[in-house]
Structure 1
């Protein structure tokens, strides 16, 4: 049976036999949650509920390996947690305090590896639930049960995530990286796996002739590259509001770049109608739209940018929002949610890395753990595309 390592993982002192490591620990705080949610990007990074701590290196449960973290990305979901944008209804599915970081490039015995951060029935020491039995371990029904606290790596109180110098990972979740793949590309494996899973779910079974990606941050740009690597040959439009994002989108395979979703809609000949109270409705649009911005406004735009009977793939993972659902029933738009990836999809993504040339250009800045306020400030201000920690 696997042992929970919650107590030693977050203790302030270590037994003499265990080495210390640096890690960034997230401590939930309702007052800071409310303040950061209200102030958003104006909330100072140094006031976020993070603490750089010296912790004992995690114990290695049976079936796990201890890894040295090489790079770990700052994801939009990390920022959503820190700035109070997550939905409170999801809180039982995660556990804190925890060392954050689920986009991980590490080393095992001198070999570079990437980490699938999912903690399913296998890692939790439980019989397979129906989802795990059919290969959908990312939808495991036991994410709050078993030998570990709720959540995946980076959102689990019992196992440290990648914003640390050392982590422990189950052997089944460790994947060697081809030596031809640079570090900056390899650290994007996890977000690329998110895109690959969503594309398989909503698009690949019946490729649209033309599609739109709303948002050119990490998820939007890895989606562009994943589409091309997976064989999409249709016309690919991207909404990119910054010149660097537009440049990267084109280099990764986009055919047309638009400064706004409205401009992208007009490019298809979609017709705009003005309604009461300044509301806007549209007829026509794209066969499929990928919402990759993660903003409630982006989802609203995507719901009108898709044509009647079309598909919207939600990759950006927005939380709570006041949303107009009329496009879905009035125009019979299909909405596909996508959150994670199965073991098979992650393994497929690792193999795709050798073909994903240029993706490494997304990594714009590296920071040591002790510079975390500057790192989070850069990530939240979107001064680059992908900001990573180098423990």
Structure 2
């Protein structure tokens, strides 16, 4: 990739009130009291009480190597909700900076051309020499994400650059990917979460396809996983744990072979044997060749570790934070765990090329909200499963 020049200190957009053209944006201020309250109350915590505000900010000033884009749509991701409701691990806090305009699932426009924005911030954006990860093409694993003049690993969690919950953003030219003709906006806005799935599937499964797969969770990531498996060439059975009728309908439409109301139901249907242990514990023998945990819940990961067969693979696509976890299945049953968080430049570019073949995923996009209606949008995203909530500035 092209090496960008070093950014001047505090150059991009420090959310100042200079006399420039203003834009609307949703600004997040870190608040320990509200973080604790939201963590304790969860979805019962009022959305309007979250540390978010729709404000007027100066449009970001152009920088060498960057383009200023007009946002068409920007999704609300599970990681955004984890931040807002206090579910993130404190250990990763050094790699994000606030106050920030959130939003990293971005469909934008440049000169009338629709583009997907890769939100990764690596050595390239910092103007630094490539670290070992960037040098081998794994810029999403950049070692300098807390160094230089940018204090975050992703656009949308960065104090210096506004994210997609705004009318305008800045993106490095190397991170801008034109959308193929004929792809609807509702499909294009899912490029970023689809790239997450593509990376995880390629790393954990595609090098040696399993004979069958169980997907735990039928939210956006789980349903995109079903479609990605089919587009990438997996022809075996795909079973999905889907608890709502709309999720069942979408899973089957996107290529699932069967759906189940619970992980235990899926295991029993597939011939796994259940055993009762001490203190009410449950153990299993047998199961699926591979399990993809896409719910993002600690319970989902625990279920996945027992739903996979002995010697099988678990791919962690969801993003649970801190939780108690029983690791005995990994050594007792020789289960292999693959974690996957983001995507390389090549993964993102490949995902954009896949969009014409990912028919149907646009059905996942539900309500579209203006920025001013952020409380209603956050509430909808936090309480309704099976549809992607997006902002349309």
For Structure 1 versus Structure 2, the TM-score category normalised by the shorter chain is over 0.9
- Whether the 8 Å contact between 1:9 and 1:58 is mirrored in structure 2 is no
The aligned residue for residue 90 of structure 1 is 92
Aligned residue runs from structure 1 range 54-133, under 5 A = 54-133=56-135
Aligned residue runs from structure 1 range 320-331, under 5 A = 320-331=322-333
Residues 219/275 of structure 1: CA separation in 2 closer, same or farther (3 Å cut): same
The aligned residue for residue 49 of structure 2 is 47
Aligned residue runs from structure 1 range 1-391, under 5 A = 1-5=6-10, 8-11=13-16, 13-15=17-19, 18-382=20-384, 384-391=386-393
- Whether the 8 Å contact between 1:368 and 1:390 is mirrored in structure 2 is yes
- Whether the 8 Å contact between 1:6 and 1:157 is mirrored in structure 2 is no
Equivalents in 2 of 1:229, 1:185: separation in Å?
Answer: 15
Corresponding pairs, count: 388
The C-alpha deviation readout for 1:146-189, integer Å capped at 9, x for no partner, is 22122310011100000000000000000000121000000000
TM-score, normalised with respect to structure 2: 0.97
Superposed CA RMSD = 1.0
Q: Which runs of 5+ in 1 are unaligned?
A: none
The C-alpha deviation readout for 1:227-251, integer Å capped at 9, x for no partner, is 0000000111000011001100000
Equivalents in 2 of 1:383, 1:46: separation in Å?
Answer: 20
- Whether the 8 Å contact between 1:9 and 1:56 is mirrored in structure 2 is no
Residues 148/158 of structure 1: CA separation in 2 closer, same or farther (3 Å cut): same
- Whether the 8 Å contact between 1:288 and 1:306 is mirrored in structure 2 is yes
Equivalents in 1 of 2:210, 2:339: separation in Å?
Answer: 18
Equivalents in 1 of 2:11, 2:306: separation in Å?
Answer: 46
The C-alpha deviation readout for 1:344-369, integer Å capped at 9, x for no partner, is 00000000000000010000110000
Equivalents in 2 of 1:163, 1:381: separation in Å?
Answer: 20
The C-alpha deviation readout for 1:4-53, integer Å capped at 9, x for no partner, is 55684412x232xx200000111001111110000001000000011111
Residues 4/353 of structure 1: CA separation in 2 closer, same or farther (3 Å cut): farther
What's the secondary structure of 1:117's corresponding residue?
Answer: coil
- Whether the 8 Å contact between 2:43 and 2:383 is mirrored in structure 1 is yes
Residues 205/7 of structure 1: CA separation in 2 closer, same or farther (3 Å cut): closer
TM-score, normalised with respect to structure 1: 0.98
Q: Which runs of 5+ in 2 are unaligned?
A: 1-5
